[in-house]
Structure 1
Amino acid sequence: MSTAIDEQPVFAPADSLLRFATAGAVDDGKSTLIGRLLHDSKSLLADQLEQLELASAERGDEQLDLAMLTDGLRAEREQGITIDVAHRYFETARRAFIIADTPGHAQYTRNMVTGASTADLAIVLVDARNGLTEQSRRHAVLAGLLRVPRLVLAVNKMDLVDFGEPVFRGITEEFAEFTAQLDLRDITAIPISALRGDNVVHRSAAMPWYDGPSLLEHLEEVEVAEEGSTGDFRLPVQCTLRTPGYRGYAGQIASGVLAPGEEVLHLPSGLRSRVVAVDTADGELDRGRAPQSVAVRLADDIDVGRGDMLCAPGNAPAVAEELTATVCWMSARAALEPGRRLLLKHTTRTVKAVVAGIGDRLEITTLERVPAERLELNEIGEIDLRLAQPVFCDPYRENRTTGGAVLVDESTHETVGAVLIS
């Protein structure tokens, strides 16, 4: 997926980086919220602020239109909605952030899936005047499906309901009742006004009944669990590095930790070897951990190539030529039907696949499953795949990297489906 805004990030140390996605119904204020975060945390460049002030002056607006900072496509500005996934990068003294501003309209569900698939946290915005909507529930369900570890319910436009605590409590209670059916483990509710800035960066005196942190304070303080580092070791091999006297197998560690002296299993051969060294561009490591990119030297000469995997021998991934998976269909050209031939791109391995069958379709606003013969654009359902070659995978609920994949059209090379392996 392309992004509406693409800027060169300045990264803080990896352990302080937080990736979060924003979602909500149209006009709930997602773009304004991100603009407020950037503006009040003093993360805008001087020319960005000048351009924003000039545009507001030309329209005769007394307040800055902060939504312009993320509504980067002309169509977005004309229609007043978010269409594409807009990425923004900023830092505070305590943490670096990557924001994915995802679309709120049901038509762009596929873009929400794209933006939230790598998020550590999702912010679901709700208009305090309207309460939970179909789209609010849709985004909560998608966050649960995608195993986003943490969720913030941001009840926006509190200034339009006189900052009333009963309104906030009613929405949070309804949301808690709905999400009890989902696999969402960490939910925090914060009342805000993105337009005014209440409880966005600074705590607001307008809501003395709320004694929690502002949104930015919560984002700075939330712990990013090293989920990848705590799992079993997985290294999808991207390439083999060879020079006279050197042979290393390079890739990004998908999960787990690896140290010299440890035994690893190579797939698909099933051969075992011992790690001699874990190298990076900056030298050898005492241990490598997800999501570092490394080159692994082994004690034995094994034929290892792109698409292979080095893993923990005690708990290896499944070697599968048949998959059952949940898929979000992303193609507007044609529906997904049994017999469709596609490419499955899983980690560094790409194999031919055929859709063997389609099971139930998920009604994501009601959580009901209904029988389906095909999946149309933005629909989510269960499918069976047969593969020409095996992939080395884990269930998505256990490992978002080795449990996730994409479907690609063979002729157009368009990404047409997001796959969550069961």
Structure 2
Amino acid sequence: MSEPIYQTDALIAEDIEAYLDQHRNKTMLRFITCGSVDDGKSTLIGRLLYDSKMIFEDQLAALESDSKRVGTQGQEIDFALLVDGLAAEREQGITIDVAYRFFGTEKRKFIVADCPGHEQYTRNMVTGASTADLAVILVDARKGVLVQTRRHSYLCHLIGIRNVVLAVNKMDLVDYSQEVFDKIVADYSAFASSIGIESFTAIPISGFRGDNITLAPSANTPWYAGPSLVDHLETVELRTAADAEKPFRLPVQWVNRPNLDFRGFAGLVATGRIAPGDPVRVLPSGKTTSVERIVTLEGDLGEAVAGQSVTLTFADEIDCSRGNVIAAAGDPPEVADQFEATVVWMADDAMHVGRGYWLKLATQTVSATVAQPKYEIDVNSLEHLAAKTLELNQIGVVELTTDKPIVFENYAQSRALGGFILIDKLTNATVAAGMLHFSLRRSQNVHWQPTDIGRDHHAALKNQTPKVLWFTGLSGSGKSTIANEVEKRLALMNRHTFLLDGDNVRHGLNKDLGFTETDRIENIRRVGEVARLMADAGLIVLTAFISPFRAEREMVRAMLPAGEFVEIFVDTPLEVAEARDVKGLYKKARAGELKNFTGIDSPYEPPENPDIVVDTVTMTAQEAAQHIVDRLLPLK
């Protein structure tokens, strides 16, 4: 007698649920393909998508049509067209942008980034490598190891990828020669060891023909006994597995406070594992407590490991907020504000030494300045080159300083707490990616010395609120004259003031600086620090400097408490300032005798939202000064 139909349906439902469970719980491997131009990266990824049945029928029909249109003969498919999505890529037959593709097998899910091979797209390649667990370095069997092969291998190692596959591609074009394969492996091995790559897996493949791509070994390479590419990708150890064995680290992303009865700290476990009752330390404060609960949407957990997003609650009420790091109490990371780091410059504009950038590391965001590079790295020869700055796609080792201590680890130990980006404060564009090496000894040896008499006491003695009146404008606009008039009026009101003038400070404090863009930035940084110290002493500080760049003016504003920095724009058209030319500087600049002169061959960035504007075309210096004083009143 047959079983009831509902039992059969139940069994089918169980099978479906088991199947879905199996695929839902698959591990995920992120990897990149890179190498020189025309080594076959896009073709390889297209083959992987095709063999893993990740192409719909309409996509396949369009692919076959495009293959004929671009010149592929017969019924053969140009698999690269699956990945080269930009029109410029198809027209030129190259990869420009990083293309991300998803596919899966019975054992694992994959996200693959097809990275560009051209040198000018190095920043794109670094972006793709930053989240990868494994790199497939492709080499054209006909050409062997090229400059870009070495370049991308170095970058992958620099970014922290330790699983490397050397895929010797286009073996069909060299008659599947073992001799050719062995020579390429030997050449690459010699280079790899010189840059610190301790091991790699070499596989002879043909992305076009499919040799040694899938699980089935190719009959064309009977001399090769290693794994196929997919077999290796399915079995390689994931980075999260290794991260789980490291000390516990959780950068706090969000303080979860839905009501007065619950306060938790949410974030992604970067490394290690944690369980209720485990002692933890909150950094940078260093306060300790223990974990009470591990909360998720699916309920409380008995343990959380690297790669999981959770909310932790503490046994004690201690201060913890976004940007803090919760760490194993007995093995915490370091805290510092000065570092050595490797930086990959990713912006069209060169790095400005001394300029303030936002530094974002995990969930921490601080202001940072970068010193002149110790050296630039020629990734083709690995030579260390002298450098004053870094241009687009250049890589260098630098020292950087943050405005407050941050929690960090060496990048080789932790990507999460060792990798950072630099962001332009004005445009919010990401300008660089970096890897921290170590903190500088001076950052550990130099500490703030507490004093009993603070800035509030200094200000109270002078019966005034400290201010920094920052006059900015072109040379010849009248900044110094107006600032001098303002100070005279404040003196008559018994205010305690000091005037820092651009020319005067170059006789002493800044006599070692020239007028290059880098020197101008350093000039303003020093003046800003002096103005801040004077404001701490309770003074009203007047500064008269061209200060041509918005970024540096905002840097000084950030040094001071809210409301104490007053940006005064002395608005004078260039032709008016040049007609005055009291010091004869414009005449010299026009004659080519004075380089980097603001308004002529160096830019001036007028304030976008100045606190006070004075127009010296319609106002006299005395009128402008009175206007400023009236705007500042009442002065305490």
Aligned equivalent of 1:282: 298
Aligned equivalent of 2:160: 147
**Residues in 2 aligned to 1:322 and 1:197: alpha-carbon distance in whole angstroms:** 51
Which of residues 228, 232, 245 in structure 1 aligns to 2:247?
232
Aligned equivalent of 1:208: 222
Does residue 30 in structure 1 map to residue 46 in structure 2? no
Aligned equivalent of 2:109: 96
Is the 1:145–1:183 contact (alpha carbons within 8 Å) kept by the matching residues of 2? no
Give, as a single letter, the amino acid of the residue that structure 2 aligns with 1:238: Q
Which of residues 366, 388, 394 in structure 1 aligns to 2:381?
366
Q: Aligned ranges for residues 41-190 of structure 1 at < 5 Å? A: 41-59=52-70, 61=72, 62=74, 63-190=76-203
Superimposed CA distance per residue, residues 336-368 of structure 1 (whole angstroms, 9 cap, x where no aligned partner) = 132122110110111111113311111111111
Q: Aligned ranges for residues 224-303 of structure 1 at < 5 Å? A: 224-225=238-239, 226-244=241-259, 245-303=261-319
**Residues in 1 aligned to 2:55 and 2:196: alpha-carbon distance in whole angstroms:** 36
Superimposed CA distance per residue, residues 258-291 of structure 1 (whole angstroms, 9 cap, x where no aligned partner) = 1100011011221111100111111111111111
**Residues in 1 aligned to 2:24 and 2:137: alpha-carbon distance in whole angstroms:** 27
Indicate how the Cα distance of structure 1 residues 12 and 392 shifts in structure 2: closer, same or farther if over 3 A, else same.
Answer: farther
SS of equivalent to 1:261: coil
**Residues in 1 aligned to 2:324 and 2:400: alpha-carbon distance in whole angstroms:** 20
**Residues in 1 aligned to 2:339 and 2:139: alpha-carbon distance in whole angstroms:** 37
Is the 2:67–2:81 contact (alpha carbons within 8 Å) kept by the matching residues of 1? no
Q: Aligned ranges for residues 215-226 of structure 1 at < 5 Å? A: 215-225=229-239, 226=241
Q: CA deviation at 1:203?
A: 2.1
Is the 2:26–2:108 contact (alpha carbons within 8 Å) kept by the matching residues of 1? no
Aligned equivalent of 2:426: 411
**Residues in 2 aligned to 1:169 and 1:360: alpha-carbon distance in whole angstroms:** 36
* Equivalent pairs, count: 412
Q: CA deviation at 1:43?
A: 2.0
Superimposed CA distance per residue, residues 174-233 of structure 1 (whole angstroms, 9 cap, x where no aligned partner) = 000110112323300001111111111232111111111211111112222512211111
Does residue 315 in structure 1 map to residue 331 in structure 2? yes
Which of residues 383, 389, 411 in structure 1 aligns to 2:398?
383
Q: CA deviation at 1:317?
A: 1.2
Give, as a single letter, the amino acid of the residue that structure 2 aligns with 1:216: V
Is the 1:29–1:125 contact (alpha carbons within 8 Å) kept by the matching residues of 2? yes
Aligned equivalent of 1:338: 353
Is the 2:26–2:107 contact (alpha carbons within 8 Å) kept by the matching residues of 1? no
**Residues in 1 aligned to 2:402 and 2:70: alpha-carbon distance in whole angstroms:** 56
SS of equivalent to 1:401: helix
SS of equivalent to 2:372: strand
Q: CA deviation at 1:14?
A: 6.5
**Residues in 1 aligned to 2:69 and 2:331: alpha-carbon distance in whole angstroms:** 62
Is the 2:192–2:198 contact (alpha carbons within 8 Å) kept by the matching residues of 1? no
Give, as a single letter, the amino acid of the residue that structure 1 aligns with 2:358: L
- Give me the TM-score of the superposition, normalised by structure 1: 0.95
**Residues in 2 aligned to 1:373 and 1:66: alpha-carbon distance in whole angstroms:** 44
Q: CA deviation at 1:12?
A: 4.9
**Residues in 2 aligned to 1:229 and 1:183: alpha-carbon distance in whole angstroms:** 24
Is the 1:11–1:96 contact (alpha carbons within 8 Å) kept by the matching residues of 2? no
Structure with the largest fraction of strand:
1
**Residues in 2 aligned to 1:13 and 1:251: alpha-carbon distance in whole angstroms:** 22
**Residues in 2 aligned to 1:13 and 1:365: alpha-carbon distance in whole angstroms:** 43
**Superposition CA RMSD, Å:** 1.6
The answer to which of 363-372 and 402-411 deviates more is 363-372
SS of equivalent to 1:417: strand
Indicate how the Cα distance of structure 1 residues 100 and 59 shifts in structure 2: closer, same or farther if over 3 A, else same.
Answer: closer
Is the 2:96–2:116 contact (alpha carbons within 8 Å) kept by the matching residues of 1? yes
**Residues in 2 aligned to 1:203 and 1:52: alpha-carbon distance in whole angstroms:** 27
Is the 2:66–2:81 contact (alpha carbons within 8 Å) kept by the matching residues of 1? no
SS of equivalent to 1:254: coil
Give, as a single letter, the amino acid of the residue that structure 2 aligns with 1:176: S
**Residues in 2 aligned to 1:371 and 1:57: alpha-carbon distance in whole angstroms:** 50
Give, as a single letter, the amino acid of the residue that structure 1 aligns with 2:30: R
Is the 1:278–1:296 contact (alpha carbons within 8 Å) kept by the matching residues of 2? yes
**Residues in 2 aligned to 1:398 and 1:411: alpha-carbon distance in whole angstroms:** 32
Is the 2:375–2:386 contact (alpha carbons within 8 Å) kept by the matching residues of 1? yes
Which runs of at least 4 in structure 1 moved beyond 6 Å after TM superposition? none
- Flag structure 1 segments of 5+ consecutive residues without an equivalent: 1-9
Aligned equivalent of 1:324: 340
SS of equivalent to 2:153: helix
**Residues in 1 aligned to 2:186 and 2:63: alpha-carbon distance in whole angstroms:** 38
Structure having the higher Rg: 2
Structure with the largest fraction of helix:
2
**Residues in 2 aligned to 1:39 and 1:132: alpha-carbon distance in whole angstroms:** 28
**Residues in 2 aligned to 1:51 and 1:342: alpha-carbon distance in whole angstroms:** 46
Percent of aligned positions with the same letter in both sequences? 49
Give, as a single letter, the amino acid of the residue that structure 2 aligns with 1:171: I
Is the 1:357–1:385 contact (alpha carbons within 8 Å) kept by the matching residues of 2? no
SS of equivalent to 2:212: coil
Is the 2:373–2:388 contact (alpha carbons within 8 Å) kept by the matching residues of 1? yes
**Residues in 1 aligned to 2:42 and 2:418: alpha-carbon distance in whole angstroms:** 31
Which of residues 361, 365, 390 in structure 2 aligns to 1:350?
365
- Flag structure 2 segments of 5+ consecutive residues without an equivalent: 1-20, 438-636
Give, as a single letter, the amino acid of the residue that structure 1 aligns with 2:305: R
**Residues in 1 aligned to 2:43 and 2:429: alpha-carbon distance in whole angstroms:** 32
